[in-house]
Amino acid sequence: MDERYEPAAVERSAQQYWNEARSFAATEDPSKGKFYCLSMFPYPSGRLHMGHVRNYTIGDVLTRFARMQGRNVLQPMGWDAFGLPAENAAMANGVAPAKWTRDNIAYMKKQLQALGFALDWEREVATCDPSYYRWNQWLFLRMREKGIAYKKTGVVNWDPIDQTVLANEQVIDGRGWRTGALVEKREIPMYYLNITAYADELLGDLSSLGGWPERVKLMQANWIGRSEGAEISFPLADDARSALRAAGQAGDALKVFTTRADTLFGVTFMAIAAEHPLALAAGARNPELQAFIDECRRGSTMEADVATMEKKGRRTGLHVLHPFTGKPVEVWVANYVLMGYGEGAVMGVPAHDERDFEFASKNGIDIVTVVRPHDGSWQKAEAPWQVSYGDYGVIVDSGEFSGLESMAAVSAIAAALDKKGLGRKRVQFRLRDWGISRQRYWGCPIPLIHCEHCGEVPVPDEQLPVVLPEDLVPDGSGNPLGKTPSFWKVDCPTCGKPARRETDTMDTFVDSSWYFLRYASADNAKAMVDERVKYWLPVDQYIGGIEHAILHLLYSRFWTKVMRDLGLVTVGEPFANLLTQGMVLNHIYSHQPAEGRRTYFNPLDVDEEEQNGVKRWYATRADGSRLEVNYDGLGTMSKSKNNGVDPQSLVEKYGADTARLFMMFAAPPEQTLEWSDEGVQGAFRFIRRLWTAVYQHVSAGPAAPVDKSALNAAQKDLRRAAHQGLTKVTDDIGRRRTFNTAVAAVMELLNAVSRFDDRSPQGRAVAQEALEIAVIGLSPIVPHVCHELWKALGHREAIVDVAWPTVDRDALSQDALTLVVQVNGKLRGQITVAVDADEASIRAAALADETVKRFIGDATPKKIVVVLRKLVNVVV
């Protein structure tokens, strides 16, 4: 071996070996336990970023570890290749999204290969390939046949200047990002997937996901948001009835859903969404109200905006009747009620709901108390709002229901409503159906044809896939597909007359909802999936960013259940174990000129200076000039903040192993990781120390085997350190998934080997064993250098194929233990006792310790707590 560690050469030769040996090509082998290790596939944005490196290194460590444990491992990779950034790049550079995307894939694939991941590239998929997305289309048609896919109107952001639909991220402060025009809401027909039909199962099955982080399950449960309550109909008063009729609509009642039917007698107003039919009917005869409705419709639909905006409302002048008292209740239009939620209408009970309280106070609406607290702490709900107004209690002033407990009242009121035909108990989910239509080009075409004579006609299976033309370049004004007659001008498959092809494409979450199934059948051109999914699924370990905790994971779970119900797969849950890795953060530096835009500076170009305890930061610009900048704290690495670190330059400077080691060592995988250049150098230094230690050891020639019966105390100590280290590394990687502590354990072992200076045959034998354990233990994390070091240690077999070693229990055995002694819970001394010492002798030894005696003084111990193998606490 070379004396110096040269990462480039080491990595080239290790990668060449894996390629030639096809080390990571997976084949189905029922005789071996399988391990399907999957990392979330990347969006091909152009270059890998550090989040990818972290994600894929975690997956790779687990993959290589499982391989060495004898599992049949599949670790595939692919590309989430449809999406908005390709269209944005097209607009900026005039390149077709297809070319941009494929060039990016080619480049990023090289980057992934340079990092030495144990990937089976023979199963690679890209969602923009017709051979992939044809199955989106095929399954969509199956869902449509089953009624799971259906059409209804949905609200979108409309840019009136570009005449185009905008994504939420393209709307900045209510204006289009390119045109600056005020964005309008528009209702258009869209296709939806009936995920709410699976809501109960998606919620219930969470409890079977033992290998998922609790917090992710909790987030999903909250998202699904099952609530038990009642649906209540408020009959329309004559004014409302006639207004609706005038608007050409029919209706007898205003329906709401509430979890607090017990507060029904406290209703003093009704609030409806601006898009509610009753609101539109009222607006038609009231210009002022219509203006307010228009204003609401311009507002954001994003939950965060709706929740934080000022709650505004206007009276409609129309009324509904209370289902029990028959008293008229006025209907208001409110900007915080959304048409897409529940019934698009809520009953207003200001005394017992904070939002209603705020609304009523502002608009001079009555507040009627109908619940009293058990502790009698208040009688009447009055300003300011108190949290306990919303609690359950005893019902008052509610007719026949007065005196009931809230819980009992909910049931009794629902039952009474049921009898009157004005309501019933109902379960409501917060979860809404999944709208998959996108008025965009770079996505999977929806396989439908609109015919004047036959209506909506599915593209026949044998004509799939509907291929997306790849030569279009979006310009920001509308969907290019709509301007391409060669795409949309088709003959109706049913009647043969001229018809129009659907030009909307699918949400890219569709693409990523089943790619993990396709890897198992990637080469099958005849079917979406085949029997090989039975062998590989479920995924044994899924790894991805915490930012996907809800949407992607929920959609994938839903899609898998649909495919199961269609008989295509046998599993109901796709991911048995989930690891959500934290984000990669870096410092943010910016400069805000008196006029103009804030500019961000890359941390690499910023120096810190400290004068008189005051820190200042200076950026060096491309022309060499310096500028004082602000430090804005830590944030996720992003282009917009210019605080990304390019993995490529890191690999070129230090090698892939250093990049991998730093990522694994700097923080446990689930936590955020702060970038540190010094930390990277430290990782590199450690690899070099390991290299030097092995070099010095093997330079003295081959070592003899260990003779366990012929070891002196120091040799036994090193063996114990080695096997303790192995125990820890095995547990940390295999069970705890804390790679940072696994690395620390190997570092400790290497420190012990370095201190150990014994050139005797048994000394060298023990050193050899310790170095082998260090190299094996580190090999899943830094596979290239370990490949080389393993050879240098005298082995023929490549380390990638070596079995993970077992711990030698004999090496761990010890004769004596050190216990700590506390007096009143404070550490006062240490005692050494035999491993098998009984409690009485430990007690005696503790009381005999000089320092302990000093602290006990004349007092008699009241209590002595002995925790075996750990400590003694003397209480005086």
Partner RNA sequence: GCCCCGGUGGCGAAAUCCGGUAGACGCAGCAGACUUAAAAUCUGCUGGCCGUAAGGCCGUGCCGGUUCAAAUCCGGCCCGGGGCACCA
Q: Which of residues 162-191 bind RNA (CB under 7 A)?
A: 165-169, 190
The answer to the question of residue 276 lying near RNA (CB under 7 A) is no
Contacts to RNA from residues 758-797, by CB under 7 A: none
Given 402, 570, 824, 832, the residue binding RNA (CB under 7 A) = 824
In the list 9, 550, 714, 802, the residue contacting RNA (rule: CB under 7 A) is 550
Which positions from 633 to 652 touch RNA by CB under 7 A, shown as an x/- string?
xxxx----------------
Q: Does 430 bind RNA (CB under 7 A)?
A: yes
621 binds RNA (CB under 7 A): no
Compare residues 130 and 861 and give the one whose CB is closer to RNA. 861
* Among 563, 828, 845, 849, contact with RNA (rule: CB under 7 A): 828
Using CB atoms within 10 A of its CB, is residue 732 exposed (0-12), middle (13-18) or buried (19+)?
buried
Q: Is 308 helix (H, G, I), strand (E, B) or coil?
A: helix
Are 494 and 457 in contact, with CB atoms under 8 Å apart? Answer: yes
- Closest separation in Å from C-beta 251 to RNA: 26
299: closest CA among 341, 336, 331, 346? Answer: 336
| 3-state helix, strand and coil shares in percent for the chain, rounded to the nearest 5 | 40, 20, 35
Q: Which of 689, 716, 720, 791 binds RNA (CB under 7 A)?
A: 689
Q: CA–CA separation, 625 vs 164, rounded Å?
A: 43
CB atoms < 10 A from the CB of 206, how many?
18
The letter for the amino acid at 846 is A
Residues 769 and 473: their CA atoms lie apart, in Å, by: 62
Residues 39-58, interacting with RNA (CB under 7 A): 43
State the Cα–Cα distance between residues 457 and 145, nearest whole angstrom.
11
Taking the alpha carbons at both ends of the chain, their separation in whole angstroms is 63
Q: How far apart are CA 255 and CA 315, in angstroms?
A: 18
Site for RNA in 453-482 (CB under 7 A): none
Number of chain residues interacting with RNA (CB under 7 A):
100
With contacts defined by CB under 7 A, name the span among 22-30, 221-229, 286-294, 457-465 that binds RNA.
221-229
Residue with tokens 């152009």: 46
Helix 656-665 to helix 783-792 angle, to the nearest 10 degrees?
110
Q: How far is the CB of 740 from RNA (least distance, A)?
A: 5
Build a one-symbol-per-residue string for 3-42: x at contacts with RNA by CB under 7 A, - elsewhere. Answer: ----------------------------------------
Instruction: Single out the segment in contact with RNA by CB under 7 A; choices: 280-288, 567-575, 613-621, 817-825.
Output: 817-825
From the list 232-240, 563-571, 713-721, 859-867, the region that binds RNA by CB under 7 A is: 859-867
Burial of 62 (0-12, 13-18, 19+ CB in 10 A): buried
Query: Which position among 507, 573, 772, 788 is part of the footprint of RNA (CB under 7 A)?
Result: 507
437 binds RNA (CB under 7 A): yes
Residues 714-753 that bind RNA (CB under 7 A): 728, 731, 736, 738, 740-741, 743-744, 747-748, 751
Contact flag: residue 310 with RNA (CB under 7 A): no
Q: Are 372 and 379 in contact (CB under 8 A)?
A: yes
Distance CA 69, CA 63 (A): 10
Q: What is the dihedral of CA 685, 687, 693, 694, to 10 degrees?
A: -160
Contact region for RNA (CB under 7 A) — 249-257, 695-703, 807-815, 863-871? 863-871
DSSP 539: B
By CB under 7 A, name the one of 671, 760, 832, 841 that touches RNA.
671
Contacts with RNA in 56-85 (CB under 7 A)?
A: 80, 82-85
One-letter amino acid for residue 159 of the chain: D
| DSSP 8-state secondary structure symbol assigned to residue 804 | P
Query: According to CB under 7 A, which residues from 133 to 162 bind RNA?
Result: 154, 156-157
CA–CA gap between residue 663 and residue 669 (Å, rounded): 9
For RNA, the binding residue among 212, 237, 822, 842 (CB under 7 A) is 822
Residue 607: beta bridge partners? Answer: 618
Give the residue, chosen from 46, 668, 734, 805, that forms a contact with RNA under the rule CB under 7 A: 668
Q: How far is the CB of 361 from RNA (least distance, A)?
A: 16
**Shorter beta-carbon distance to RNA: residue 91 or 871:** 871
